[in-house]
């Protein structure tokens, strides 16, 4: 089997950590590369010190996600921390640049995926890979549900799955 490039969006929310754990337990195969991608917001003031601090905090956050990966043997991990927008354009560009096979996103109220869908008619052209949105289900902790959303239109090539999981632990 060919090694895949799995990109996991790093955010300081439980949903993102759960998405990473789900991917490691259910998606990762030997030889796959996990890219932990954190995009910190652009500073309107162009203050270099503030940008440097945001980059440092983003890298520290990504390192905490790498610690989760390190509990799985033979996991290849790289970290990418970059500056960008909150609507997901930078994440989309990075996913394409990396050549991701799969994008794993923890779904929450402020998820970039929702913002990207609201801003663009056809996000399938923006993300040229399978997208797994992992959402913690608040009601039933022992159930796992996978639903595949229908295509937005006939021209989209986006493969999107939403996985609802109970508490991991």
Which DSSP state fits 41? E
pLDDT at 120: 64
What does the pLDDT average to over 84-88?
A: 80
Place of tokens 């991917």: 23
- Residue 50's Cα: distance from chain center in Å? 24
pLDDT at 163: 57
Per residue in 115-130, pLDDT (tens digit) is 777 766 566 667 788 8
- Residue 129 tokens read as 């890979």
Confidence of residue 109 (pLDDT cuts 50, 70, 90): confident
Q: How much is the mean pLDDT over the chain?
A: 80
d(CA 27, CA 75): 12
pLDDT at 4: 93
- Phi and psi of 54, rounded to 5°? -65, -40
Which DSSP state fits 99? T
Whole-Å CA distances, 169 to 105, 131, 142, 165: 19, 24, 11, 12
Residue 106 has pLDDT above 70, yes or no: yes
| Side-chain-facing half-sphere of 40: CA atoms under 13 Å | 18
Per residue in 131-157, pLDDT (tens digit) is 888 887 665 444 444 444 433 333 333
- CATH superfamily for 5-165 is HUPs (3.40.50.620)
Q: What are the residues facing 6 on neighbouring strands? A: 34, 102
- pTM of structure: 0.80
d(CA 156, CA 110): 24
């Amino acid at each position: 089997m060919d090694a895949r490039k799995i990109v996991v969006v790093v955010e300081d929310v439980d949903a993102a950590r759960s998405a990473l754990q789900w991917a490691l337990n259910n998606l990762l195969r030997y030889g796959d590369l996990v890219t932990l991608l954190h995009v910190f917001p652009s500073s309107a003031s162009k203050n270099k010190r503030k940008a440097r601090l945001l980059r440092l905090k983003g890298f520290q956050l990504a390192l905490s996600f790498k610690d989760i990966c390190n509990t799985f043997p033979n996991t290849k991990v790289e970290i990418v921390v970059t500056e960008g927008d909150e609507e997901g354009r930078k994440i989309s560009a990075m996913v394409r640049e990396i050549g991701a096979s799969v994008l794993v996103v923890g779904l929450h109220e402020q998820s970039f995926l929702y913002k990207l869908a609201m801003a663009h008619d056809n996000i399938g052209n923006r993300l040229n890979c399978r997208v797994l949105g992992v959402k913690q289900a608040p009601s039933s902790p022992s159930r796992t549900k996978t639903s595949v959303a229908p295509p937005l239109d006939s021209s989209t090539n986006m493969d999107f799955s939403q996985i609802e999981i109970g508490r991991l632990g």
